[in-house]
Chain A
Amino acid sequence: MSVDIDTVKRVAHLARIKVTDDEAGQMTGDLNNILAFVEQLDEVDVSDVEPMTSVVEQSMKKRADEVTDGDYAADVVANAPASEDNFFMVPKVVE
């Protein structure tokens, strides 16, 4: 399988990364090289093989459903590019 430049632009939009036409062109070549490389996997017969979900055999740990953390909103927003009254500030989303 290979991708064309329009697919790369669509994927870049899905990933929320702005790309120029030049960058999209360069990425199209790079991505096709990588996709050609991973095509080797087509040689492997994976019928009746379960996909791996965890490398370590351990049942999922569950903690008690209780509050153990919190009450430091100022710490949470401390690194935000814009914040006010412990809220993250973003451009207007709803008119």
Chain B
Amino acid sequence: MSELTNLTLAEARDKLSARDISASELTGAFLDAIAAGNPALNAYVAVTGDEARAMAARSDEKLANGTGGALEGIPLGIKDLFATRGVHTQACSNILKDFKPHYESTVTANLWADGAVMLGKLNMDEFAMGSSNETSCHGKAINPWRRKDSDQALVPGGSSGGSAAAVAAGLCLGATATDTGGSIRQPAALTGTVGMKPTYGRCSRWGVVAYASSLDQAGPITRTVRDNAILLRSMASVDPKDTTSVDRPVPDYEAAVGRSVKGLKIGIPAEYRVEGMQGAVDSLWQQGIAWLKDAGAEIVEISLPHTKYALPAYYIVAPAEASSNLARYDGVRYGLRVDGTDIADMYENTRAAGFGTEVKRRVLIGTYVLSAGYYDAYYLKAQKVRTLIKRDFDLAFQAGVDAILAPATPDAAFAPGEFSDPVSMYLNDIFTVTVNMAGLPSLAVPAGVNGDGLPLGLQLIGRPFDEETLYSLGSTIEQAAGRFEPTRWW
């Protein structure tokens, strides 16, 4: 790793604006790091070197004449789920083969307006359905972390596995990601990076390939809490093109980094102490509690009684919404077409060839739970359970809790193929999915390593639109825990 790719986003920003380094040399260093590291890590599925150099050259002009934006010259990776004009956008699915949108997602448009440089598109589970990045049509991304004294490949988590792997390996300064049931926080925890799932409605979903629209939310994965706050400020906006985008000004999140957490009331939910949780995860959680207590926060036990029902309810709501959203892939308007004897046969052949197994599984479950006679028993019931899950959080916040501290994942990174049946893979999201069901913001922060030397993360859950408190608490944990970087083998 060269000196330039070792910088944090905040350090690079300061050096660029002081003109100690140029955007072109910074982008060049990352393109070199990608060329060297990507064959082993498969984090990028498309590298946009020419575009990156052109964007960096424009940034250098702006930096020279003092008109640089908040992210001027900062090289970023973009999850393949975000539409980028004229550039590979495939959601890592064969059904979107060769798709190049003629429009730009709001989130990426915000980043380019602030001067960021696009290095390329990042690997992910197909249509963001997965917790290991193994369902990508471009092959799995590999975690830059390995167990101590082992060369066994590990997954970077998912669905934003490419984003997390690229950030952890120094193949970009930060990455966009999305989180429907844990897809930002779980990969962040498994790679020692920082991931924020903002409040539902904070980042526009316009131009983001839809999975489950009532749960999907974009957010950043970065190396530090400060970098995360900087990136979220640019990603977030109020967007008339997304009716669920919330009309609230975007605060200066960076100002919350390092702010005192003295007197904040932190809830510790008893229901997150689940059977089969790894000892290292539990002791890290206790360590996190101790750090926040030392920083002057008040620790209170709380109860979120419907926690265990979040994952089963999710596996009704998310597939139901997915079956509807993915109906658009019909071989007519974009992507793959496989001919048939008539139009219905063409649809069926196209979707059989274009979708992978996990996507088919979820579309079939979704179609079934929404089919005549089953809607009330499944979908309506799940939406009622969702009301109860949100009520649990509402009651905790009404009782004066400012944020909740819990583990991010039940265990550290695992090997490809380790979870062979779908339900056991789904259990990876047991701690993260409640937050999506309630629409709340949540920050995953690396906090320690397990006995194998693999990173583990803690998760902070906040009140709606109170990402700032999470950044203050996250930076407190980061200061106590230090940063975690993999030993380079790639």
Contacts and interface: CB of A to CB of B under 8 A. Distances in A.
A50 B386 CA distance: 10
Given A56-B464, A75-B102, A88-B332, A51 B384 contact: yes
Nearest to A93: B343
Interface string A1-42: 101000110011111111100000001001101110111110
A68 to B, nearest CB: 9
A76 B438 CA distance: 36
Given A37-B312, A91-B340, A18 B364 contact: no
A56 B384 contact: no
Contacts of A76: 102
A88 B422 CA distance: 37
Contact of B323 (A15, A39, A77): A15
A49 B387 contact: yes
A18 B346 contact: no
Interface string A33-71: 111011111011010011111111010110100000000
Contacts, number: 166
Given A38-B312, A88-B332, A27 B423 contact: no
B86 to A, nearest CB: 10
Interface residues of B, number: 74
Contacts of A81: 331-332, 334-337
A50 B387 contact: yes
B312 A41 contact: yes
Interface in B338-377: 339-340, 342-349, 351-352, 355, 360-361, 363-365, 367-368, 371, 374, 377
B364 A17 contact: yes
Given A12-B364, A51-B386, 12 more contacts: A17-B363, A30-B422, A31-B361, A38-B312, A38-B313, A41-B309, A55-B390, A56-B199, A61-B243, A81-B331, A81-B334, A88-B333
29 contacts: A1-B377, A7-B368, A11-B367, A12-B364, A17-B352, A27-B360, A27-B364, A31-B368, A37-B423, A38-B313, A40-B308, A41-B382, A44-B306, A49-B384, A50-B387, A52-B384, A52-B386, A56-B246, A58-B246, A63-B240, A77-B333, A80-B333, A81-B331, A81-B332, A81-B335, A81-B336, A90-B332, A91-B342, A91-B346
A71 B131 CA distance: 41
Nearest to B389: A52
B102 A33 contact: no
A79 B361 CA distance: 27
Contact of A38 (B247, B306, B316, B437): B316
B387 A51 contact: yes
Given A61-B243, A79-B334, A34 B384 contact: no
Contact of B349 (A18, A38, A90): A18
B315 interface: yes
Interface residues of A, number: 53
Given A31-B365, A34-B365, A75-B102, A16 B423 contact: no
A90 B346 CA distance: 9
A16 B347 contact: yes
A49 B368 contact: no
Contact of A18 (B334, B337, B351): B351
A-B complex: 6 closest residue pairs judged by Cβ atoms = A55-B439, A51-B383, A81-B337, A79-B334, A18-B348, A46-B384
Nearest to B214: A55
Given A34-B365, A41-B382, A82 B388 contact: no
A3 B368 contact: yes
B201 interface: yes
Contacts of A34: 315, 361, 365, 422-423
Contacts of B383: 51-53
A38 B100 contact: no
Contacts of A11: 364, 367-368, 371
A27 B358 CA distance: 10
A60 B331 contact: no
Given A38-B312, A51-B380, A46 B344 contact: no
Contacts of B388: 44, 46, 49
A62 to B, nearest CB: 9
